[in-house]
Amino acid sequence: MIKKIVLGVFFVATLSVMFYAYLLFQNNQSIEQLAPDKISNSLEQSIVWMVDNHEQALKENNAMLWWMIKRSSEITQDYRLLQIYDEYHKNYIDTDSLGVWQPLFLPYANVSVNPEFLFHLPDYNLYFIYGLTCDAGLAQLDIIQRQKKSNFCPETHPISPACVTHQLMGLRFRQDKTCGDKTAMADQVKQLQTMIIKQLTWDPRLIDVYLQRVLMLVDTGAVQAVKHQWIQNILDAQSSDGGWGDFQSLLAISDTRHMGFYSRGIKLGAPKDTLHATAQGLLLMSLLTQPVVDS
């Protein structure tokens, strides 16, 4: 009996290793650069998704996501995105309901930051706000000082899939505000980019954070480090409606019940587009349609 159990465990372990090896191979294949029309078609589909789902999206006042949509509308100058963002602007920005997030949309906004009222936020949100405001009070917080270090994620959030991308995004805001030593920040950007490249190489799950990792590489000037296969994977993960989600189906048990990857591992669920993933995909495709400028 014990021998059968051992053989069973060995079989499952071997099968798991082989499956992971297959996913790694698929994720890191060397393919030709994608034709520009593939990117532009994906962008068009994501814009259509935004149009079809804008009423529901407008109920979700996630400033970071709408900042991405704003940037996409500015990059593409697509009248549909401009109209959708204008509606968000009227509903939330004109009504002065964004608080400390105003600098995302109004770069010269002078906001009052009281750290005591922000402790309920995740640490990366505090870092975003610090980067957007360079507030002296926030700068004194230990959680801000620790996030300035490249070893923050391995030491504080070793299993958080989005920690490094969040840290890089906060650093990007700091660079925009010249909130720190320029050379030191530029060096740290490269260090965090290297971490993200390793994550993309070894974590083949086509979920929300996969999009976020590629987006942050492209948005911080490391587009040349992005494998063509990674872009193809993202295109393959786009739904027929034009959006993206946080679930990669591996096995369809029924029409509404699948087994697959999600941000925390494996679960039973079903593919479903989300604004969180789609806003990132939309911005990524908007950036990829722009010509690459050699630095």
Q: Is residue 207 part of a domain?
A: yes
Q: Is 229 exposed, middle or buried (0-12, 13-18, 19+ CB in 10 A)?
A: middle
Question: Domains in the chain: how many in total?
Answer: 1
Residue 269: the pLDDT is 85
Residue 71: the pLDDT is 98
Residue 270: the pLDDT is 84
Q: pLDDT tens-digit profile of 137-157? A: 999 999 999 999 999 999 999
72 within 8 A of 283, measured Cβ to Cβ: yes
Token digits of residue 225 = 């480090």
Give me the domain span that covers residue 258.
Answer: 33-288
246 within 8 A of 207, measured Cβ to Cβ: yes
Residue 31: the pLDDT is 96
pLDDT of 227 > 50? The answer is yes
Handedness of CA 12, 18, 20, 26 (dihedral sign): negative
| Residue labelled with tokens 């593939």 | 38
Q: Is residue 21 part of a domain?
A: no
| Residue labelled with tokens 């400033």 | 63
180 within 8 A of 187, measured Cβ to Cβ: no
Token digits of residue 220 = 């911080």
201 within 8 A of 5, measured Cβ to Cβ: no
pLDDT of 58 > 70? The answer is yes
94 within 8 A of 75, measured Cβ to Cβ: no
Give the integer Cα–Cα distance in Å for 283 and 72.
5
Band of residue 86 on the pLDDT scale cut at 50, 70, 90: very high
Give the integer Cα–Cα distance in Å for 67 and 88.
10
Token digits of residue 74 = 């500015």
Q: Is residue 182 part of a domain?
A: yes
Q: Is residue 43 part of a domain?
A: yes
Give the integer Cα–Cα distance in Å for 272 and 277.
10
Structure pTM? 0.93
Q: Is residue 210 part of a domain?
A: yes
pLDDT of 6 > 60? The answer is no
Residue 258: the pLDDT is 86
pLDDT of 295 > 50? The answer is no
- Compute the average pLDDT of residues 68-77: 98
Q: How many CB atoms lie within 10 A of CB 242?
A: 23
Query: 268 - beta bridge partners?
Result: 259
Name the residue type at position 56: Q
Strand order in 265-269's β-sheet?
247-252, 258-262, 265-269
Q: Is residue 26 part of a domain?
A: no
Residue 107: the pLDDT is 85
Q: Is residue 56 part of a domain?
A: yes
pLDDT of 111 > 90? The answer is no
All residues at 6 or more sequence positions from 80 whose CB lies less than 8 Å from its CB, including other chains: 47, 50, 51
Residue 5: the pLDDT is 61
Q: Is residue 217 part of a domain?
A: yes
All residues at 6 or more sequence positions from 57 whose CB lies less than 8 Å from its CB, including other chains: 50, 84, 275
Calculate the average pLDDT of the chain: 92
Band of residue 76 on the pLDDT scale cut at 50, 70, 90: very high
Which of 284-295 are b and which e, b meaning 16 or more Cβ less than 10 Å from the residue's Cβ? bbbbbeeeeeee
Range in 59-68, 183-192, 259-268 with the lowest mean pLDDT: 259-268
